[in-house]
Amino acid sequence: MFCAYLLLLLGVGVSAVEVQRPRGVPLSKRQFYEENKPFTCLDGSRTIPFDRVNDDYCDCQDGSDEPGTAACPNGSFHCTNAGFRSAFIPSSRVNDGICDCCDTTDEYNSGATCQNTCRELGRKERESLQKMAEIAKEGFLLKQQLIHEAKRGLEEKQAKLEELQTSKKGMEEKVEALRTVKEAAEQPEKEAKERHLKAWEEQKALIRMEKDKAKMAEVFLELDEDADGFITVAELLSHSELDPDSDGSLTETEVQGLLGGADKVDTVAFETVWGNIKEKYISKTQADTPAPVETPQEEVREPVPDNDSEQYPEDDIPEEEEEEEEEEEDDDDPDEEDDKIPPTMRTQEKKEDDEGTMPPYDQETQNLIDAAQKARDEFDEAERALREVDDQIKSLEKEISFDYGPSAEFAYLYSQCYELSTSEYIYRLCPFNRVSQKPKYGGSETSLGTWGTWAGPEANVYSVMKYEHGTGCWQGPNRSTTVKLTCGKETIVTSTSEPSRCEYLMEFTTPAVCQEPPSLDPTLHEHEEL
């Protein structure tokens, strides 16, 4: 359309002869207005004598009998505008004292002083359109370069993709082979570790048994109060903590039950009943140890100052004293740290201290561990390299899959971003990715939409981009952006606006939409409306 319009304006001749027709009638409707023949209204409503055309009285409902006067309110007047663009104006503007047609034909009977400016307007517009044609021509040449580069780039990406896919197969085989090596190395490692742990558990069991025997001997001596080599019922009656049913009293029958039904036991028999009492028994040493008593904090009284002595109001305590008080408050109490450790953890730590730590692996086991770790490291490295190649393949497949236009002319926009700075925001357009805005003086970025599809009209679908599903507006829809593409030598965002709430419009120039302008010869065309 632009090219046809440009061709028309640049092809205006200056020597044409005007075709005779009633005032205000375009050349396209000349055949309906034949002199000396009755005129039929263009809507077919009635037929009138031709001398009633342009008689300043409206006879036709559609106003077609008065194309050159202001008689019909719904009529239109055609401005020939030789040297410029022809145009239609409402009939009400005919002879209203204001020149609407650049050729002054609308003010033929008003007395208005008008000058024919059509040639000057046509000259300026032709110059403007000539510049646009030059831009289109340069842009089209750039577009051809973009198409050539896109073709070469896509071929290189396709070759790289095929190379990576081939490489991936080999890497997958390597990963599986290393997995087998790793699993083969881990099995003897696992068995050796289990043997080492089992030996350590057995050693710990022996340590615990020896300690239990020592404790048993110690308790026997404590319970054998008369040191006669026997523990009797009478000697146990004083140990109420051994009460089996915890009813507060320990009877002789209950004590005999603890001693396995006997009245007394020696050291050998005590081994069989040790399990009945060792969990509840409290040694005399433990029982006689008094619980720590907190010393009450002595109340410190401030000395009453003499009248002559300096006094400090509560808010005016010297800074040095305040700092000393803060330091005292901040001192960590090691006992408090101990209190924070759960009792079960302290018991476990003590148990481990008593039993010692697991001894280091023997050299044979350590060699197996080192071999398995080496196999794991090699497997992990190969698997990581495979993931990287897989990511590259997915990225290339995604890039190649985009619709870059009929000849891939828009491919150069991929992975690029373009910004437009306004008084308040910085707008950022990343074609085939997303659109965003960010406050110019601080604040978080807001998504105005992610790539959706080409959305131009059917005849030029690649003239509009649509970005959807941006950040939601407050109590409104998600933001979206329409990007209109126009021909230009540069690739820039030229403007942005918000025509309706949460729906943004961007103007974006790029050589990729430039079309080849037609060859023009102004001497070969005449103005159709003369």
pTM of the shown model: 0.56
The pLDDT tens digits for 232-285 are: 988 888 888 888 888 878 888 888 888 888 889 899 988 988 988 888 887 655
- Asked if pLDDT for residue 449 goes beyond 70, the answer is yes
At residue 420 the predicted structure's pLDDT band, cuts being 50, 70 and 90, is: very high
Residue 527: name the closest of 101, 4, 18 by CA.
18
Percentages of the chain per state (helix, strand, coil), in multiples of 5: 45, 15, 40
Instruction: Give the CATH number, domain containing residue 418.
Output: 2.70.130.10
Structural domain includes residue 13: yes
The C-alpha atoms of residue 419 and residue 399 are separated, in whole angstroms, by 22
- Rounded to 5 degrees, φ, ψ at 146 are -60, -40
Quickly tell me which residue has 């073709």 as its tokens. 151
pLDDT of residue 371: 96
pLDDT of residue 492: 96
Query: What residues make up the domain containing 488?
Result: 411-513
The three-state secondary structure class of 337 is helix
pLDDT of residue 130: 84
Contacts of 56 (CB under 8 A, 6+ apart): 66, 69, 70, 71
- Of 96, 116, 136, the residue at which a domain comes to its end is 116
Structural domain includes residue 160: no
**What does pLDDT average to over the chain?**
83
Q: Would you give the end-to-end CA distance of the chain in angstroms?
A: 22
* E-strand stretches of 403-528: 418-421, 425-430, 434-439, 446-454, 464-468, 480-487, 492-500, 503-510
pLDDT of residue 156: 93
Looking at residues 480-509, what average pLDDT do you find?
95
pLDDT of residue 9: 45
Q: Say how many residues make up the chain.
A: 530
- Of 76, 95, 116, the residue at which a domain comes to its end is 116
- Asked if pLDDT for residue 518 goes beyond 80, the answer is no
pLDDT of residue 322: 47
pLDDT of residue 288: 53
Q: What is the DSSP string of 286-323?
A: HHHSPPP-PPPPPPPPPPPPPTTS----GGG--HHHHH
Q: Are 41 and 60 in contact (CB under 8 A)?
A: yes
pLDDT of residue 289: 55
pLDDT of residue 378: 97
Structural domain includes residue 292: no
The pLDDT tens digits for 310-369 are: 444 444 444 444 444 554 444 445 445 444 444 444 444 444 455 678 999 999 999 999
Side-chain half-sphere CA neighbours of 499 within 13 A: 9
Contacts of 429 (CB under 8 A, 6+ apart): 417, 418, 419, 420, 435, 483, 493, 506, 508
Residue 197: name the closest of 45, 72, 365, 37 by CA.
365
pLDDT of residue 279: 85
Structural domain includes residue 256: no
Q: Are 382 and 174 in contact (CB under 8 A)?
A: yes
Structural domain includes residue 82: yes
The pLDDT tens digits for 112-139 are: 999 999 999 988 988 888 888 888 888 8
Lowest mean pLDDT among 28-37, 282-291, 428-437: 282-291
Looking at residues 465-488, what average pLDDT do you find?
94
Tokens representing 212 are 């239990």
pLDDT of residue 3: 47
Structural domain includes residue 33: yes
For 331-426, where are the alpha helices, taking DSSP H only?
A: 334-340, 343-355, 363-401
Q: Are 282 and 241 in contact (CB under 8 A)?
A: yes
Q: Are 90 and 78 in contact (CB under 8 A)?
A: no
Q: Are 487 and 135 in contact (CB under 8 A)?
A: yes
Residue 48: its H or E element: strand 47-48
Quickly tell me which residue has 């700075």 as its tokens. 421
The three-state secondary structure class of 151 is helix
Structural domain includes residue 376: no
Burial class (CB in 10 A: 0-12, 13-18, 19+), 89: middle
Percent of the chain residues topping a pLDDT of 90: 60
pLDDT of residue 242: 86
Tokens representing 261 are 């039904």
Residue 379: name the closest of 175, 211, 133, 189 by CA.
175
The pLDDT tens digits for 385-394 are: 999 999 999 9
- Of 93, 116, 139, the residue at which a domain comes to its end is 116
pLDDT of residue 379: 96
Structural domain includes residue 57: yes
> How many other CB atoms are there within 10 angstroms of residue 430's CB atom?
18
Report the Cα 110 to chain-centroid distance in Å. 67
Give the Å distances, CA to CA, from 212 to 82, 219, 225, 282.
Answer: 121, 10, 21, 15
CA Rg value for the chain: 51
Contacts of 197 (CB under 8 A, 6+ apart): 358
The pLDDT tens digits for 154-189 are: 999 999 999 999 999 999 999 999 999 999 999 999
Lowest mean pLDDT among 61-75, 340-354, 369-383, 391-405: 340-354
| Cross-strand bridge partners of residue 482 | 466, 505
What's the number of domains the chain is made of? Answer: 2
pLDDT of residue 278: 86
The C-alpha atoms of residue 161 and residue 341 are separated, in whole angstroms, by 58
Tokens representing 172 are 């997958």
